[in-house]
Structure formats: structure tokens, C-alpha cells
Amino acid sequence: MSDAVTSDPIRPADGADDVEAVILVGGKGTRLRPLTLSAAKPMLPTAGAPFLEHLLSRVRAAGIRRVVLGTSYRAETFSGYFGDGSRFGLEIDYVIEDSPLGTGGAIRNVLDRVSAPTVMIFNGDILSGVDLTGMIDFHRRQQADVTLHLTKVDDPSAFGSVPTDPDGRVQAFLEKTENPPTDQINAGCYLFQRTVIESIPAGRVVSVERETFPGLLAGDARVYGYVDSSYWLDLGTPAAFVQGSADLVRGIAPTSALPAPAGDVLTLPGAVVAPTATLTGGTALGRDVSVGDDAAVAGSVVFDGAVIEAGATVTRSVIGARARIGAGAVVADAVIGDDAVVGPRCELLGGIRVWPGVELPEAGVRFSSDAS
């Protein structure tokens, strides 16, 4: 078992030229609607850049130069932004998944675009501080067929658990249980030898958790877990998305793609903030955002062109592109879609989501929801 590691995004791995990366970004992001109605989840603005740009910055810092993106939903948005990758110091290729294939099937689907003997695979919605170079070194030392990043969580009963022996060799892949034998869970980052990918059945749905990994154990393959307690967050819900962005802004989560030094607030060019407004908690303001007098924005993500009028309060929320929050409105733990309008003195609380273009009335109407 590896010791707990640090989240160093700079130190390159020795000989990383023989490692390529695959990032799976094909999901529809239904738990993040309405944000994902107009953009794929990894392309959502997160701490001033698409989330995927933060992940790619860490891949490049680990010494990996070639990346294959396994896309499906809104595939054109990825190639339109990242192109061939040269602007980011990478070589990026794209594979479109015509129908859902599961994680294992998606990995097998990109096989003909990778040539390196070792492939590092990422779920494209995980924000992690794992030491990628340390994980590559561990994989090599163990001469592993597959190495999984395993992270320790306070409540492993909500996940499948992955016990390992003292050397880090995986003993089992267990489903969710009330009394798991370990606090280690699959963290969504893997190193595969290319020969293992070749063994995954092609052209059908394959689950790595239920089929590939148990099959490898049954065949006595060398499957190891790289265990650490670094930063880890699944950005699948609006609350987690907001937290992840704020953690990136404040430097709690590692990235080399912040457009400004880490701090309590990130403001992109063109944003105008009134002198009496208050911004805190890792808030990120997009381009051409306007924040009025005495408004307060805490721990929130505000997309390009949004307007927050005088005296409004926005807390732990996402404000879509060109949306307008009326004077004196209160928005907390909510998602406001692109071009939506929240009337003056409205209150939107507790997980409510406003779809793009919707206009809510004025004069103190209160909306709340138990949705997460």
C-alpha cells in the first residue's frame, strides 16, 4: 500500500513518454440540469475555465503529452474548444461513442487511438488531488496490470469498497454494504496496461466495476490500489459543482489552469463589481458579469454576462450565462439557468432549479425545493 501522498501538480513522472491518457467525457450530466442542457458537464465554467481544462493541466504536469477524449454528448464542444491540444501543450484526439457502452466499453472503444503500453484513464467529472506521478511510479514498481486510485472516505457504505493487502494488491471489489470492511473506494482514475484493454469485449456495454475488475482478479491478474487521502470530489451534483469550483479558486484543489492566482475570489476580464458589493468564499465571476451596490455573493459560480442587481444575495449557487438576479432577491443553494430572470425580492432556496429563459415574478415570491 502506498503512503498518503501530496497533491503536487508539477513534478513530472520519470519516463512518462510511454504513458498516454484517456479521459471519459461522454455522460449527459443529467444530475446537473439545467446547466448541462447547453454544455457537456466537463465543459461547464469552473473556477474561470472549463472543468476539463483543470484536469488536462494536471495531466500535462505529470509529463503525459497525448490525450484521447472519449466523447458522446455534445462532442463538438470539446473539439471546438481544445482543438488538437497544441494550445495546451498536448496532443488531443477524439473518439465519439455512438451509444452508451459503460466505463469498460468506453475504454475499449478508444483502443485504436492509443499506442502507449500504459494508459491512464480518468472519469471526466472527478476533481482529485491524487499525485499522478506517484501513481505511475507505484504502478511500475508493482509491475501491475491495472492500478486503481483508491481514496479513503468517512462513509464508505455509500460506495462500493475495495480492500487491499499490505502491499496494495486488490483483494475484492465489493458492492455497497452497511458494514464495509475498508474505507477505501474506487476514485475513478486507473492505469491500464494496453494488453488489458485489448481483453475487454468490443462493441457492447461493459462495466469495469462489475465485469472487468472482478474478471481480472479471478484470472489472478496483478491488480493494485494506490491509496491516498488527498482531495477528492465527484462533481455530479450542483452542490458538489459549486464546492469544487470554490475549492479550485481558493487553491484547496490543485490545478495549473487558474486564470489568476488562487484567492478568495476569481474575477474574469470585463466583470464589473460595485464598490459596496461583497464577494467571498471562492466565488468565480465570468466575463462581463455585473454585481450591483450592496449585493453579496458567497461561494458561487456566476457565468458570463450574468447580472446581480443591487442588494441581492447569492449563496452557494450557480447563475447561468446572461441570467439576471433582481434587486433584493435571495438565491441560496440554487441553480439559475442561462437567460433566466429572477424578479426583485424573490427568494429561491434549498436546491431549486430554474430552467433557461424562465422569468420569475417580482414582489417577494418564495420558492424552495428539497432537490439536491
Lowest mean pLDDT among 175-179, 200-204, 295-299, 314-318: 175-179
Lowest mean pLDDT among 65-74, 272-281, 301-310: 65-74
Domains of the chain and CATH, by start = 16-237 (3.90.550.10), 264-368 (2.160.10.10)
Q: What is the pLDDT of residue 210?
A: 87
Lowest mean pLDDT among 51-60, 89-98, 326-335: 89-98
Name 368's Cβ contacts closer than 8 Å, sequence gap at least 6.
347, 348, 349, 350, 351, 352
Residue 189: in which H helix or E strand, if any?
strand 184-193
Confidence bin at 291 (pLDDT 50/70/90): very high
Name 140's Cβ contacts closer than 8 Å, sequence gap at least 6.
none
The residue whose grid cell reads 501522498 is: 5
34 preceded by cis ω (within 30°)? yes
Percent of the chain predicted with pLDDT > 90: 61
Torsion angle defined by CA atoms of residues 263, 267, 272 and 275, in that order, rounded to the nearest 10 degrees: 0
Name 358's Cβ contacts closer than 8 Å, sequence gap at least 6.
337, 340, 341
What is the per-residue pLDDT across 111-147, written as a single tens digit (0 to 9) for each?
Answer: 999 999 999 999 888 999 999 999 999 999 999 999 9
Q: Is the pLDDT of residue 11 over 50?
A: no
* Closest of 19, 18, 106, 4 to residue 59, by C-alpha: 19
Residues forming beta bridges with residue 122, ordered by sequence position: 23, 189
Query: Is there a contact between 337 and 37 (Cβ–Cβ < 8 Å)?
Result: yes
Q: What is the pLDDT of residue 202?
A: 87
Q: What is the pLDDT of residue 170?
A: 93
Lowest mean pLDDT among 232-241, 267-276, 327-336, 360-369: 360-369
Q: Is the dihedral of CA 291, 297, 302, 306 positive or negative?
A: negative
**Average pLDDT for residues 354-362, to the nearest whole number?**
89
d(CA 323, CA 319): 6
The residue whose grid cell reads 466499453 is: 105
Q: Is the pLDDT of residue 175 over 80?
A: no
According to DSSP, the β-strands at 324-325 and 307-308 are parallel
Residue 106: in which H helix or E strand, if any?
helix 102-109
Q: What is the pLDDT of residue 122?
A: 94
User: 372 or 77: whose pLDDT is higher?
Assistant: 77
d(CA 335, CA 317): 6
Residue 24: in which H helix or E strand, if any?
strand 19-24
**Other CB atoms within 10 A of residue 182 CB:** 17
Q: Is the dihedral of CA 351, 357, 361, 362 positive or negative?
A: positive
Reading the block at residue 168, the C-alpha cell is: 496494495
Confidence bin at 364 (pLDDT 50/70/90): low
- At residue 51, what is the residue type? F
What is the per-residue pLDDT across 151-168, written as a single tens digit (0 to 9) for each?
Answer: 988 888 778 789 999 999
* Closest of 218, 220, 215, 213 to residue 186, by C-alpha: 213
Confidence bin at 367 (pLDDT 50/70/90): low
C-beta pairs of 351-356 under 8 Å, 24+ apart in sequence = 351/238, 351/239, 353/33, 353/34, 353/238, 354/34, 355/34, 355/37, 356/34, 356/37, 356/38, 356/320
Lowest mean pLDDT among 7-21, 62-76, 225-239: 7-21
Reading the block at residue 244, the C-alpha cell is: 469544487
**Average pLDDT for residues 68-92, to the nearest whole number?**
88
Model confidence, pTM? 0.88
Confidence bin at 10 (pLDDT 50/70/90): very low
Q: What is the pLDDT of residue 332?
A: 96
**Average pLDDT for residues 326-333, to the nearest whole number?**
95
Name 110's Cβ contacts closer than 8 Å, sequence gap at least 6.
22, 68, 70, 95
